[in-house]
Amino acid sequence: MSGMGSKMLELDDEDELKDFRACFVDDRSGVNYLDGNSLGRLSRAARDSIMTAIDQEWGVELIRGWEHWGELSFAIGDTLAAELLGAASGQVVVADSTSVNLYKVIMAAHSLVPDRRVLLADLNDFPTDRYILEGIAKANRMELRFIATAMDEPVVADDFAPYLDDDVAVVVLSQVNYRSGALNDLAQIAYTVHSVGAMLVGDLSHSVGAVPIALDDDDIDFAVGCTYKYLNGGPGSPAFLYARRRLQAELTQPIWGWFSARDQFTMAPGYEPVAGIGRFLVGTPPVLQLRALEGALTVVCEAGIERLRAKSLRQTELAIELFEQVLAPHGFRLASPRLGPERGGHVSFEHPHAQELTSILLRDHRVLVDYRAPNRVRFAPSPLYTSFAQVYEGIMALAKAVES
């Protein structure tokens, strides 16, 4: 065995989280899965939870299940708040998709500063964030300003400063960039955004479950995020939404559905929202997916975000070390921050043939990673189930793919 091979065995042996691999169903995928930030793997707890919900709840309780299903969006929201988001209870709810939640919170944020006409976003942010903003700007005759940020580095408050004035209503920014994995300092940006009286919406899709988050302490106004990435909630599992408690009473969200109406079953002629975070609900939540997420979260919470972050940093560090040895000589460029504190849970490598190489990796080496336009290969080890050996093998396979 090569020196590196035995070093990987050692790292895997010393890994504090190694036993969590057994929390996931036997891997029959036939691939080295390094795409946990697109869709997390299926845990036994998620599978058991959804199967119980199917057999015991839907199968037996039928409509009577709603005597307790209504609580799920709030209970899971509170778990996320306490364990992963650094938020007190009553500020997070789980419902709808991240895109729909973005629409709701951007409009709600604007309802707090209705005379302001400008929306501000990062030109390199995830498409859905930019598109939702574009739609809101068009429908409401607002101006949408894009900040031209560096694609592979964290966005800093100074990047925003030249675009901020007292007409800015809402700023939207991902905490971890989907392409580069750059980790943005939301606390610092919130401070700058608040200095002109604007509101900040954070998209935590690539940070939740990968890095510690402190929404309350960082003074973030609103946040949204996916649950099917590092939280392993399953394809289409509903997103979460955070709204600061002190803002909740005054705001209006734009989709008035019966799940947020006061006295839902009086079927009143007009809409009046409930008090609290429940006013962000719209319609019937996906109960089976909520149950899957509830199960999946037990695994994430047991590992704990501090241990997850520590292992994730070591794994991305290893990927970067190997990049220097075997990828840089083949014309790859590191398209992620080199410094750990500036990085989320994934790393990207730029190469002119990134798309083709991603396909070759899967076809010839059974390594599953993402391609992200314009020319990046994205590696996302998920610390709950990815071994150090898998990180090593993934990078070495990429080197072989480019040699061939």
Ligand X SMILES: Cc1ncc(COP(=O)(O)O)c(C=O)c1O
Q: Return the biggest CA–CA distance within the chain.
A: 74
Choice among 74, 222, 228, 392 that is catalytic: 228
Residue 170 forms beta bridges with which residues? 119, 199
Choice among 179, 229, 244, 279 that is catalytic: 229
In the block, residue with structure tokens 């419902």: 95
E strand segments, 57-154: 92-94, 118-122, 143-147
- To ligand X, the closest distance from the beta carbon of 287 in angstroms equals 18
- To ligand X, the closest distance from the beta carbon of 147 in angstroms equals 16
Integer-rounded Cα Rg, in Å, for the chain is 22
Q: Is 158 a catalytic residue?
A: no
How far CA 95 is from CA of 42, 72, 332, in Å, comes to 20, 10, 40
Q: Which residue's CB is nearer to ligand X, number 294 or number 370?
A: 370
Q: Is 179 a catalytic residue?
A: no
Nearest CA among 312, 316, 315, 391 for reference residue 347: 316
How far CA 101 is from CA of 94, 281, 383, in Å, comes to 10, 9, 27
In the block, residue with structure tokens 């079953």: 265
Q: Is 228 a catalytic residue?
A: yes
In the block, residue with structure tokens 């940006």: 189
- To ligand X, the closest distance from the beta carbon of 310 in angstroms equals 23
Q: Which residue's CB is nearer to ligand X, number 303 or number 380?
A: 380
Q: Are strands 376-379 and 347-350 parallel, antiparallel or unpaired?
A: antiparallel
Q: Which residue's CB is nearer to ligand X, number 226 or number 369?
A: 226
- To ligand X, the closest distance from the beta carbon of 39 in angstroms equals 9
Q: Is 146 a catalytic residue?
A: no
Q: Which residue's CB is nearer to ligand X, number 116 or number 206?
A: 206
Choice among 41, 311, 376, 378 that is catalytic: 378
Binding residues for ligand X, rule: CB under 6 A, are 97-99, 126, 128-129, 174, 178, 203, 205-206, 226, 239
- To ligand X, the closest distance from the beta carbon of 266 in angstroms equals 32
- Alpha-carbon gap, residue 343 to 379, rounded angstroms: 13
User: Which distant-in-sequence residues (6+ apart) come within 8 Å of 235 by Cβ?
Assistant: 39, 228
Q: Which residue's CB is nearer to ligand X, number 129 or number 350?
A: 129
- To ligand X, the closest distance from the beta carbon of 404 in angstroms equals 30
- To ligand X, the closest distance from the beta carbon of 121 in angstroms equals 12
Q: Which structure tokens are listed for 187?
A: 């606390």
Asked if 394 and 32 count as a contact pair (C-beta separation under 8 A), the reply is yes
Q: Which structure tokens are listed for 214?
A: 């402190």
Q: Which residue's CB is nearer to ligand X, number 99 or number 188?
A: 99
Q: Which residue's CB is nearer to ligand X, number 104 or number 116?
A: 104
Residue 187 forms beta bridges with which residues? none
Q: Is 64 a catalytic residue?
A: no
DSSP, res 243: E
Nearest CA among 199, 285, 178 for reference residue 243: 199
C-beta neighbour count of 9 within 10 angstroms: 14
Asked if 230 and 300 count as a contact pair (C-beta separation under 8 A), the reply is yes
Choice among 15, 152, 203, 221 that is catalytic: 203
C-beta neighbour count of 324 within 10 angstroms: 12
**What residues are annotated to the active site?**
126, 203, 228-229, 378
